[in-house]
Amino acid sequence: MTTSLGLSIITLVTLFISLTPTLTKSEGGIDVFLPISLNLTVRTDPFSISAASHDFGNITDENPGAVLCPSSPTEVSRLIRFANGGFSYNGVLTSPAPTFKVAARGQGHSLRGQASAPGGVVVNMTCLAMAAKPAAVVISADGTYADVAAGTMWVDVLKAALERGVSPVTWTDYLYLSVGGTLSNAGIGGQTFRHGPQISNVHELDVITGKGEMMTCSLKLNPELFYGVLGGLGQFGIITRARIALGHAPTRVKWSRILYSDFSAFKRDQERLISMTKDLGVDFLEGQLMMSNGIVDTSFFPLSDQTRVASLVNDHRIIYVLEVAKYYDSTTLPIIDQVMDMLSRSLGFAPGLMFVQDVPYFDFLNRVRTEEEKLRSLGLWEVPHPWLNIFVPGSRIQDFHDGVINGLLLNQTSTAGVTLFYPTNRNKWNNGMSTMSPDEDVFYVIGILQSAGGSQNWQELENLNDKIIQFCENSGIKIKEYLMHYTRKEDWIKHFGPKWGDFVRRKIMFDPKRLLSPGQDIFN
Ligand code: FAD
């Protein structure tokens, strides 16, 4: 029996009173049976199904059978218990076998369907954040942490924290990602070298496991679950609340882009800056490549210098952009001058190629939003994104640079998108967590963030990614992929290496029926 109350744009299928099983049918013809006694509100209308089947990557298309818009964590727990075949109503157990898979979906900014649940139920985590009581973000009385509903976007965590003069300490470049989504990967950016990834800055989590149990975990309480879930690609449970560490919020930022034509000097300065202490050093460090076969975005630089910067790129074919930021407010004004002086005197860039903007802290952290708006206005946001994100051991970065940047990227007729290139410190990562990183003190974050469209289709870009991986393989450069999507089990085993055993053990402990986040393709 199909129950569907057609309500305007969004069809709400509200299941009440009767105990008759309800069948929701996806467009792909796969069915999800939910008994009415579950009392869950799921959406099965084409709009909701279609929205949950796509992601930012714009490459995959996987229809769920239904989308759950939960108003409380207990609803998610009920759904998962039922999917396990263990839901009981009136003392009667329902179906003995799992009936469908379940995936949490934050903002759906995955690249390859990682938040999808083909034929199963996608849990819209935004609904849970909107229903959170007393609020999606609650700052502690002493301002040292925030309890955050996991479906909340980081930009909203920032806004709520700033009202109290505090802020999370480590960020992704883009803030319109959900807390649960980035904690399921790592959450990295220009502050990672100093504070670690976002997963290193979590005190406690509320998680609904793959068995439907609601558990609180931390380093001391249920540590297996805590370690597993952080960077755990959604495999062990659905995070509903995260307790995030906070620090003092500065008011302003000196944001610099410093140009190099010499890779060795660029690399040396990047590595020196990430080794400096907080007082004397910078608060944020990244790097980008400007290549003559790509679109050279000079908008950061003063109008009077833009032509000069563009010709530099043309003349050298590649310019390395060191991007650093130092936070300040009225109490730290003297320090900012010292640090800016240190940067301009001690770094090895060519004279006259350091450019500084002075911006509010919020605008600095939210800088990628401006890029998003630009791309959206040009129709270039909702295009396929065959992005490649990798971590490269510091000891092999020169070989990577020579083989991949010089050998492959610069030899393309054109490149479309941004290439990130910066080092970070491994001692800020907790190796017990699920995320994998190279086994060296310093490793580089490389993001080859190409967009398809125009003359290039995404398969061509994907072929280039394959060549990059192959080059590393052939040269013995032991990279780790980030935000990866493998379809072969052996690739996952290789990725997790010595942690594979723990990963499987935790899967058996917390999601024995392998219901969660099937879009990651690890245990399907
Ligand atoms: P989704 O795509 O919705 O989900 C991702 C995975 O996590 C899925 O497997 C899903 O099932 C699972 N999941 C989601 N919520 C939960 C939850 N509450 N509990 C358990 N599992 C859950 N990453 C960085 O580290 N640094 C960056 O600077 C950065 N910049 C980005 C910029 C852009 C423009 C984009 C599109 C992505 C960027 N990312 C970055 C990648 C981003 O962190 C990941 O794609 C992240 O998963 C996105 O969060 P989301 O809420 O969209 O997750």
Q: Whose CA is nearest to atom 47 of ligand 1?
A: 181
Report which ligand 1 atom has the smallest distance to the Cα of 153.
51
Give the residue, out of 80, 124, 157, 184, with the most ligand 1 atoms within 8 A of its beta carbon, to mutate for a pocket test: 184
pLDDT score at 450: 93
pLDDT score at 198: 98
- Band the pLDDT of 12: cuts 50, 70, 90: very low
Q: How far separated are the first and last CA of the chain, in Å rounded?
A: 29
Active site residue ranges: 109, 173, 286
pLDDT score at 86: 57
- Band the pLDDT of 96: cuts 50, 70, 90: low
Q: Check residues 42 and 168 and name the one with the higher pLDDT.
A: 168
Residues 6+ apart with CB under 8 A from 97: 85
Predicted confidence (pLDDT) per residue in 364-404, tens digit = 999 999 999 999 998 889 999 999 999 999 999 999 999 99
Predicted confidence (pLDDT) per residue in 281-308, tens digit = 999 999 999 999 998 999 999 999 999 9
Q: Check residues 194 and 90 and name the one with the higher pLDDT.
A: 194
Pocket of ligand 1 (CB under 6 A): 55-56, 103-110, 114-115, 125, 150, 172-174, 177-178, 180-182, 184-189, 233-234, 238-239, 483, 517, 519-520
pLDDT score at 453: 79
What percent of the chain has a predicted confidence (pLDDT) above 70?
Answer: 91
pLDDT score at 114: 98
464-499: string of b/e by CB count within 10 Å (b at 16+)? bbeebbebbeeeebbbbbbbbbbeeeeebeebbeeb
Residues 6+ apart with CB under 8 A from 279: 335
CA of 239 to the centre of ligand 1 (A): 13
Predicted confidence (pLDDT) per residue in 21-31, tens digit = 454 444 444 45
Give the whole-angstrom CA distance, residue 267 versus residue 28. Answer: 50
Report which ligand 1 atom has the smallest distance to the Cα of 173.
28
> Does residue 134 have a cis peptide bond before it, meaning omega lies within 30 degrees of 0?
yes
Are 187 and 493 contacting, i.e. CB atoms less than 8 angstroms apart? no
- Given a cut of 50, whether residue 339 has pLDDT beyond it is yes
Predicted confidence (pLDDT) per residue in 60-86, tens digit = 999 999 999 999 999 999 999 999 985
CA of 56 to the centre of ligand 1 (A): 10
Q: Whose CA is nearest to atom 21 of ligand 1?
A: 234
Average pLDDT value for the chain:
91
252-481 classified as CATH 3.40.462.10 = yes
Lowest mean pLDDT among 76-80, 312-316, 333-337: 333-337
Q: Domains of the chain: which residue ranges?
A: 129-249, 252-481
- Give the mean pLDDT of 349-363: 94
Q: Is 184 helix (H, G, I), strand (E, B) or coil?
A: coil
Report which ligand 1 atom has the smallest distance to the Cα of 197.
25
Q: Is 31 helix (H, G, I), strand (E, B) or coil?
A: strand
Give the whole-angstrom CA distance, residue 476 versus residue 463. Answer: 20
Predicted confidence (pLDDT) per residue in 103-162, tens digit = 999 999 999 999 999 999 999 999 999 999 999 999 999 999 999 999 999 999 999 999
Predicted confidence (pLDDT) per residue in 236-289, tens digit = 999 999 999 999 999 999 999 999 999 999 999 999 999 999 888 999 999 999
- Band the pLDDT of 490: cuts 50, 70, 90: very high
- Given a cut of 70, whether residue 461 has pLDDT beyond it is yes
Q: Which residues pair with 122 in a beta bridge?
A: 67, 103
- Band the pLDDT of 97: cuts 50, 70, 90: low
pLDDT score at 1: 31
Residues 6+ apart with CB under 8 A from 120: 32, 64, 65, 83, 100, 101, 102, 103, 515, 518
Report which ligand 1 atom has the smallest distance to the Cα of 234.
21
Give the residue, out of 62, 126, 172, 485, with the most ligand 1 atoms within 8 A of its beta carbon, to mutate for a pocket test: 172
CA of 110 to the centre of ligand 1 (A): 6
**Beta strands at 284-291 and 388-393: parallel, antiparallel or unpaired:** unpaired
Q: Whose CA is nearest to atom 5 of ligand 1?
A: 181
Q: Whose CA is nearest to atom 42 of ligand 1?
A: 182
pLDDT score at 18: 28
Report which ligand 1 atom has the smallest distance to the Cα of 385.
36
pLDDT score at 239: 99
Lowest mean pLDDT among 33-37, 160-164, 180-184: 33-37
CATH number of 129-249: 3.30.465.10
Give the residue, out of 53, 110, 451, with the most ligand 1 atoms within 8 A of its beta carbon, to mutate for a pocket test: 110
